[in-house]
């Protein structure tokens, strides 16, 4: 069975010229090893997805492809973000592969997890999630925020695999299921568990980045979290309703207290208290409008049905 399995390793790339040669060497060794051991077919490939890089990434991908036909690539017409770039690679690979494995270009995800994923696939899993065994490599801030993110997502009812990034195996069947989700705003960590089918988990140790700088800034992490929350839950809208009810209730209680104090001849002139209350109410209203605006904005993007990506060039 193994030697007949065509595997495509999908690697999104954005300004990765500093690590691409090291990544290529490591993936070449791993793929050759798997092919020689008959774990996968010799028709298997590594697919680089150039996500509108501004450096020499695409030229390097072209050179690598010309030197070694194990490697192929697609070039997106402009930067579309990691989720769209990964999705583009998966949809291209689906036409040629029995299974795909997605992995980051910096290879912080241990490529030896591929062996574990293949074992789980052969045992019947259509999706295998790569899960970090620990977060020792992360900063204290990132560990705390990541832990809060997963707990909050589970709290509001979004099904996610904790400590799973984008390292995963998907069968052709699972990819065909993924293709049926038509939303423009992609949050793959939330979409893929909804596909169903038998799944499994493969644990691995995450290493240090081999070169260059991470492209996942604090701003991008916040945007990513917002994308996941708004795409998969109406809990923030319900929170607004609950906050409005709570404020109305508190205001009613304060009004009753003020009336009672007036009746018993107590002075009720506290300008600071009134101003603070006004600012609190105004702040909550602006926050509520902002959350509602985010949902309306996402709806606006969805109804336009713009393409998730446009492929400019293919090297297959």
Model confidence pLDDT, tens digit, residues 140-180: 666 666 666 667 667 666 676 777 778 899 999 999 999 99
Give how far Cα 178 sits from Cα of 9, 51, 109, 124, 309, Å.
17, 20, 23, 18, 16
| 117/203 Cα distance (integer angstroms) | 9
| 56/15 Cα distance (integer angstroms) | 7
Q: What is the pLDDT of residues 220-277, one digit of tens each?
A: 566 656 665 666 566 666 666 666 667 666 666 766 666 676 666 655 555 546 665 6
Q: What is the pLDDT of residues 121-147, one digit of tens each?
A: 999 999 999 988 766 666 666 666 666
| 55/34 Cα distance (integer angstroms) | 32
CB 27 within 8 A of CB 9: yes
Per-residue pLDDT, 272: 46
């Amino acid at each position: 069975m193994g030697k007949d399995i065509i595997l495509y390793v999908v690697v999104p790339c954005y300004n990765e010229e500093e690590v691409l040669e090291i990544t290529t060497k490591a993936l070449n060794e791993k793929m050759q090893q798997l092919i020689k051991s008959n774990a996968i077919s010799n028709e298997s490939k590594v697919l680089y997805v150039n996500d509108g890089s501004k450096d020499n990434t695409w030229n390097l991908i072209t050179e690598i492809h010309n030197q070694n036909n194990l490697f192929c690539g697609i070039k997106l017409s402009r930067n579309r973000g990691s989720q769209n770039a990964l999705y583009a690679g998966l949809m291209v690979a689906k036409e040629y592969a029995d299974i795909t494995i997605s992995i980051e270009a910096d290879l912080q995800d241990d490529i030896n997890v591929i062996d574990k994923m293949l074992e789980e696939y052969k045992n019947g899993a259509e999706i295998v999630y790569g899960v970090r065994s620990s977060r020792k490599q992360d900063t204290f801030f990132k560990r705390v925020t990541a832990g809060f993110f997963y707990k909050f997502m589970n709290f509001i009812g979004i099904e996610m695999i904790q400590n799973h990034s984008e390292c995963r195996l998907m069968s052709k069947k699972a990819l065909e299921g993924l293709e049926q989700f038509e939303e423009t705003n992609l949050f793959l960590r939330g979409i893929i568990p909804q596909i169903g089918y038998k799944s499994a988990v493969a644990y691995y140790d995450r290493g240090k980045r081999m070169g260059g700088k991470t492209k996942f800034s604090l701003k991008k992490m916040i945007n990513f979290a917002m994308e996941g929350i708004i795409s998969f839950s109406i809990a923030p809208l319900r929170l607004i309703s609950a906050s409005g009810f709570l404020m109305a209730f508190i205001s009613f209680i304060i009004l009753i207290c003020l009336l009672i104090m007036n009746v018993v001849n107590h002075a009720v002139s506290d300008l600071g208290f009134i101003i603070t209350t006004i600012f609190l109410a105004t702040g909550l209203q602006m926050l509520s409008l902002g959350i509602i605006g985010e949902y309306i904005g996402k709806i606006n993007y969805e109804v336009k049905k713009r393409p998730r990506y446009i492929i400019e060039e293919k090297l297959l």
